[in-house]
Structure formats: C-alpha cells, structure tokens
Amino acid sequence: MRLRFHAIKTDNYFAYKPVLIGAAILLLLGACTMTQPYGSFIQNPLQAFSHYSKVMADDVTDQIGRLYPAASTQFAMQHPASDPFGQALIDNLRMQGYAVQETVKQDNPLLAVVLSKPIDEADEHAQQITQLEARPGLALRYIIDRSDDLYHVSILIEDLKLTRAFVVHSGQIEPAGLWVRRQQEN
C-alpha cells in the first residue's frame, strides 16, 4: 500500500485577509467621519424655483425667529449658500436682525493664501486681535431637495434639526405639514 501525501496549496486569500479587513475598517471609519453634503440638491430647477425659494426661506426665517432672538444671535454658515434658497435665507436672516457669517468658496486657492497673508507685523497683530474678538456663531447648515412636486427643507443649527415639506399646488408653494424638530446626538 502506497501512501500519498498531498502538498498543501497556500491560497493567497489567507495572506491578503488581514489587508482586506484593515482596508474595510478604514473605509468604514472614513465614511463615519465624512461630513454630510449640505446645500441645494435641486437638479434642473423650474423657472418658479426662485419664487419657491423665497417663500420657503420666509417660512424658515419665521421658524428660526421663534427659537432664537434676533440682534443677539449670530449664525455661521458651514457651506457656501450660492443657490436661490440659500441667498434668500441669508438675506431674510439679516433683515430680521441676525448676524450671518457666510462661507465663501475660493475659486483660486493660491489667491486665497496670498490674500490671507499679512503684509507686516502690525497687520499680523491686528489680525490676531480680530480673531480673538470674533465670536463664532451658531453653526448653520441646510439641505433642500425635491421629489416631484414635494420640496424637503432641513435646517441644522448646531445639534438641532428642523425639517418641513412643501408642496406645489397650482403654481404656488405651501407647507405640506408642520415643522419637525429633532435634537441630533453627538
């Protein structure tokens, strides 16, 4: 009787398994730390969207006014508000007496570095004093999107999330329900 010994084949799968597990963990951690995109997600807006944006921004401003006192509250936009809704919201908040710090998207990063560099020591000292005196405002973000004739607006102020739906009827937009208020967990 002859015994046969089979050579055990090493499978490369076992050699790469720790690498695959490590990569999966890094991807999951990276997804957890990524910031959620904010702003308007309205694609191919209707011509009436500028009017709809103004109506929705008016309603959002009224709701914010119920929760935060004007003239003593400062907001800091956490993303550029370059769409019609964002511009209407910022304009409304300022007209109501809120201070709003806007986030400006720099088209040329090299120019931003050059412009932000102090010219001499006096300017550098003045810039440091200004930074110390500047009080950061409440973090303000928004998400606006649409599905058919239903618009969804979410306003995030620090850890507070306010959400409301709006519906279009006969060319006019109106609230489709009450405001939903939720505290975000950190």
**Residue 81 falls inside a structural domain:** yes
Residue 119 in any domain: the answer is no
In a domain, 159, yes or no: yes
Which residues pair with residue 161 across a beta bridge? 156, 182
Q: Is 178 within the bounds of a domain?
A: yes
**pLDDT for the residue 103:** 81
pLDDT along the chain (186 residues), means of 10: 61 58 57 67 84 96 96 95 95 96 67 47 53 71 92 96 95 94 83
H or E stretch at 76 = strand 74-77
Domain presence at residue 65: yes
Whether 38 contacts 141, CB under 8 Å: yes
What is the domain-level CATH number for residue 101? 3.40.50
pLDDT for residue 43? 82
In the chain, the number of structural domains is 1
Whole domain around residue 70: which residue ranges? 39-105+131-183
- Decide if 132 contacts 138 (C-beta within 8 A): no
